[in-house]
A and B are shown apart, each in its own frame.
Chain A
Amino acid sequence: MAEFVKMTGIDKAFSGNQVLKDVSFDVLPGEVHALMGENGAGKSTLIKVLTGIHPRDGGTIEVRGKEVTFSNPKEAERAGIVVIHQELNIIPHLTVAENMFLGKEMTIGKTGILRKKDMYNQTLENLKRLGVTNIDPNETAGNLSVGRQQMVEIARAVSTNAEMIIMDEPTAALTDREIDSLFDVVESLRKQNVSIVYISHRMEEIFKICDRITVLRDGEYVGTERIADTDFEAVVKMMVGRELGERFPARTSEVGETIFEVKGLSRDGWFDDIDFHVKQGEILGVAGLMGAGRTEIMEAIFGAAKKKKGQVILNGKPLNIKHPQDAIRAGIGFITEDRKDEGLVLHLSIRENIALTNMKAISGKGYISSKKEVNLIDDLIERLHVRTTGREQEVKSLSGGNQQKVVIAKWLGIEPRVLILDEPTRGVDVGAKKEIYNIMNELTEQGVAIIMVSSELPEILGVSDRIMVIHEGKVARFLDREEADQEKIMQAATGGE
């Protein structure tokens, strides 16, 4: 079978910094091809070179056997190559049909008068081609869930006769059910001979839906394997260049006395009567479906969102937390799920970001001591192995894993007694993931109580000492590490017995 796209010997450098070295990548018609690599391995750059956002320094690109050079994504689109970005290109105030035909509206002749009825029907048709029948073309796009918006965008791509769709982390913001629908769509596209390039950090998904996998490391091509011929460990080894060993490090801390308790925490319409405790040196995993209220519970504990009633008790003393500041003073840290919107000030330096939560430690009477600040920041950068050119680097330019380490560093400085981590490894590559687990381990050895919210079941099972499952705003079940498995958690999370 002839390749649909064939990239050979691609080189690319940004101001002297070589980001792609002799990279080859080919995609067959109708295959689902995973493009993998750690953050900063060059996946996005490769895609940008393909679609003409960045000009290449060397190498050739062939589409349908003909050598091409696209100078912008529009040209790539005309050749049948469409990228679905993580940040969707949907205009929320317009309807589904209006979004579908944005920039290529159907009109009566050249009058500019819209043929609304035709566009409505065509939208239905486009969605049906993907097997999607539950979206109304007249619905305002912003009212749809992220998963459905994504369907609209894929349908739009297909309607332009795309023959290759590149999906960048398509499942990052989807619920489990939405992920299943996405996989159905991928399956139906495969049958229609559309190629998919699938970029994701979620190994389970790769093995579930992909045919082949290409791995990049530090801008270099490592190899291409058929999924059937490889396995999890082998792929990880290709990605990080060495044996990573156990995916989850062994838990080493001694679990001590109960240090943190939550009693009867409630907020109308969000969560109800939440009771739980965490012991010193313990990791409590919090599982549940997306939208079950896990994040909202944590925000309420931390004082970032309202609670109706309930008690938060630390060291036997009830706390009165009205603002995150109160929680921080009590020794509670909160690593939020969305590091870009809530965790970091992206254009500030590593130093300024870490300093935000640590003002008390580095200042006296409101005056910041540069010496204390620099010492603290450098210590934390070293302790967390943040890969950086220095403390003054903008966090924006760090890879996802290193950004996450900066977020964690913010909270280590306050020497928390309780640390809440909400999806601590989302969008983080395997190598950095393991480092984050190691940090969590280290903290529990020092007696810190950790609450970890995660939507990745293997992570919940691999890291937690105890698991709390939330279902529709209520505690559905507690499970000990020994008795827990994926089935039991899913059952509790979906409301089963």
Chain B
Amino acid sequence: MQQTIVNNLSKLGPLIGLVLIMTILGFMSDNFFTLDNLLNLLRQISINALIAFGMTYVILTGGIDLSVGSILAFGSALTAGMLASGMDPLLAVLIGLLAGFAMGAFNGLIITKGKVAPFIATLATMTIFRGATLVYTEGRPITGLSDSFLFEMIGRGYVFGIPFPGILMIIVFFLLFFLLRKTVFGRQVYAVGGNEEAAKLSGIKADRVKIWVYSLTGMLSVLAGIILTSRLNSAQPTAGTMYELDAIAAVVLGGTSLAGGRGRLYGTLIGALIIGVLDNGLNLLNVSSFYQQIVKGGVILLAVLLDRRSK
């Protein structure tokens, strides 16, 4: 009985933290709890959240993906390039997503078949994909993109007053949540991360599970990149730099164990919200971006320390 209460408390920890931060910011700034700002917030976090969802899967299998930012950049540049050359927007987006999937699959293959540690493998591909982006863009932003409704919608659109990227993020969240909790694949993700040997001996093709997980993350990174591209109406070759860190931070803040096998997608959503709320609130309070970084890092550290305490 006592144990279940403690257990539930630790599950609710991130949510309590979020509510606390929001309350404090609400008191400090009159503009924080306005409808406009909250909707704005939803749009702001959608990019990090989408990447962090994929990262959650990767970390659950006991891996890590440092290349998400570079995959984002290459996928967006590719999509933008095709748009600029007049391709059908839907087709361009699909090809972009497919490229993200392929880059992720490449990561997965290196890690499983090449037996390279995920940290090293994705550190290398992070550099490779970034380099490929610079080659493809010749180091310059790609502008003059399509003015099609679809493409504008992705990053800038609203449905019933709600920013479309936010809606997209929430739909993806529910799909991935379902995949993780209700399907055989989701169960396999937890098993592979929890004890790969036992999973294999239970007939699970661990390599295949991992390749899928990295592919999924690659695709989600490009989806985030396309939102970014649509919002800026241009693709930057340096887009997504350091995004992997915010994504990993969101996952960790959400209570997922870096050792794999343990964690929740809902926690990652909360984690992404915490980071987003901090960015947003500190901006409203006109805190300099230098101090913002210190506060953000401090909150992450505090959260992890509190988590250790409760164990």
B261 touches A325 (CB 8 A): no
A323-B205, A324-B201, A334-B201 given; A345·B190 CB < 8 A: yes
Which chain A residues numbered 335 to 349 have a C-beta less than 8 Å away from chain B? 336, 341-348
Cα of A327 to Cα of B191 in the assembled complex, Å? 19
CB neighbours of A347 from chain B (8 A): 194, 261-262
A342 touches B194 (CB 8 A): no
- Chain A to chain B contacts (Cβ below 8 Å), 26 pairs: A15-B2, A16-B2, A323-B203, A324-B200, A324-B202, A327-B203, A328-B202, A334-B201, A341-B195, A341-B198, A342-B201, A345-B195, A345-B198, A345-B199, A345-B261, A346-B194, A347-B194, A348-B191, A348-B261, A355-B187, A356-B191, A356-B203, A359-B187, A367-B184, A368-B183, A368-B187
Chain B interface mostly: helix
Which chain B residues numbered 143 to 198 have a C-beta less than 8 Å away from chain A? 182-185, 187, 190-191, 194-195, 197-198
B2 touches A341 (CB 8 A): no
A352-B187, A363-B184, A367-B183 given; A343·B194 CB < 8 A: no
The one of A304, A324, A346, A357 in contact with B195, judged by C-beta atoms closer than 8 angstroms, is: A346
A345-B191, A348-B191 given; A368·B182 CB < 8 A: yes
Say whether B288 faces chain A, with CB atoms less than 8 Å apart: no
A357 touches B203 (CB 8 A): yes
State the 3 A-B residue pairs at the shortest beta-carbon distance, nearest first: A345-B194, A325-B203, A328-B203
Residue of B nearest to A348 (CB): B194
The one of B2, B185, B202, B261 in contact with A357, judged by C-beta atoms closer than 8 angstroms, is: B202
CB neighbours of B262 from chain A (8 A): 347
Say whether B8 faces chain A, with CB atoms less than 8 Å apart: no
Cα of A116 to Cα of B195 in the assembled complex, Å? 41
Residue of B nearest to A411 (CB): B202
Say whether B3 faces chain A, with CB atoms less than 8 Å apart: yes
Chain B interface: which size bin?
A: 20 to 34
Say whether B102 faces chain A, with CB atoms less than 8 Å apart: no
Residue of A nearest to B195 (CB): A345
Q: How close is A214's CB to chain B, nearest CB, in angstroms?
A: 31
Cα of A341 to Cα of B201 in the assembled complex, Å? 11
Say whether A366 faces chain B, with CB atoms less than 8 Å apart: yes
Say whether B18 faces chain A, with CB atoms less than 8 Å apart: no
Say whether B204 faces chain A, with CB atoms less than 8 Å apart: yes
Q: How close is A300's CB to chain B, nearest CB, in angstroms?
A: 13
Residues of B in contact with A (beta carbons under 8 Å apart): 2-3, 182-185, 187, 190-191, 194-195, 197-205, 261-262
Give the number of chain A interface residues (Cβ < 8 Å): 30
Say whether A279 faces chain B, with CB atoms less than 8 Å apart: no
Digitize A398-427: 1 where CB-to-B-CB distance is under 8 Å, 0 elsewhere.
000000000000100000000000000000
Cα of A347 to Cα of B187 in the assembled complex, Å? 13
The one of A15, A367, A368 in contact with B3, judged by C-beta atoms closer than 8 angstroms, is: A15
A356 touches B200 (CB 8 A): no
Cα of A345 to Cα of B194 in the assembled complex, Å? 6
Taking A323-B203, A344-B195 as known contacts, 15 extra A-B pairs with beta carbons closer than 8 A to each other, sorted by chain A number, are A323-B200, A324-B200, A325-B203, A325-B204, A329-B203, A334-B201, A341-B198, A342-B197, A345-B195, A346-B195, A348-B261, A355-B187, A356-B198, A357-B202, A359-B184
The one of A16, A343, A355 in contact with B201, judged by C-beta atoms closer than 8 angstroms, is: A343
A347-B261, A348-B191, A348-B194 given; A366·B184 CB < 8 A: yes
Residues of A in contact with B (beta carbons under 8 Å apart): 15-16, 302, 304, 323-325, 327-329, 334, 336, 341-348, 352, 355-357, 359, 363, 366-368, 410
B205 touches A325 (CB 8 A): yes
B202 touches A356 (CB 8 A): yes
Residue of A nearest to B259 (CB): A347
A323-B205, A345-B199, A347-B261 given; A352·B190 CB < 8 A: yes
B198 touches A342 (CB 8 A): yes
CB neighbours of B261 from chain A (8 A): 345, 347-348
Cα of A359 to Cα of B187 in the assembled complex, Å? 9
Q: How close is A358's CB to chain B, nearest CB, in angstroms?
A: 9
Residue of A nearest to B207 (CB): A323
The one of A336, A342, A356, A410 in contact with B204, judged by C-beta atoms closer than 8 angstroms, is: A356
Residue of A nearest to B202 (CB): A356
Cα of A485 to Cα of B195 in the assembled complex, Å? 39
Cα of A341 to Cα of B187 in the assembled complex, Å? 18
Cα of A2 to Cα of B30 in the assembled complex, Å? 77
CB neighbours of A348 from chain B (8 A): 190-191, 194, 261
B201 touches A304 (CB 8 A): yes
Cα of A343 to Cα of B204 in the assembled complex, Å? 13
User: Most chain-B Cβ atoms within 10 A of its Cβ — which of A324, A348, A356, A368?
Assistant: A356
Cα of A204 to Cα of B233 in the assembled complex, Å? 78
CB neighbours of B205 from chain A (8 A): 323, 325
B187 touches A356 (CB 8 A): yes
Cα of A300 to Cα of B203 in the assembled complex, Å? 14
Cα of A170 to Cα of B284 in the assembled complex, Å? 64
Cα of A325 to Cα of B262 in the assembled complex, Å? 24
CB neighbours of A346 from chain B (8 A): 194-195
A304 touches B199 (CB 8 A): no
Residue of B nearest to A16 (CB): B2
A355-B187, A368-B182, A368-B183 given; A324·B194 CB < 8 A: no
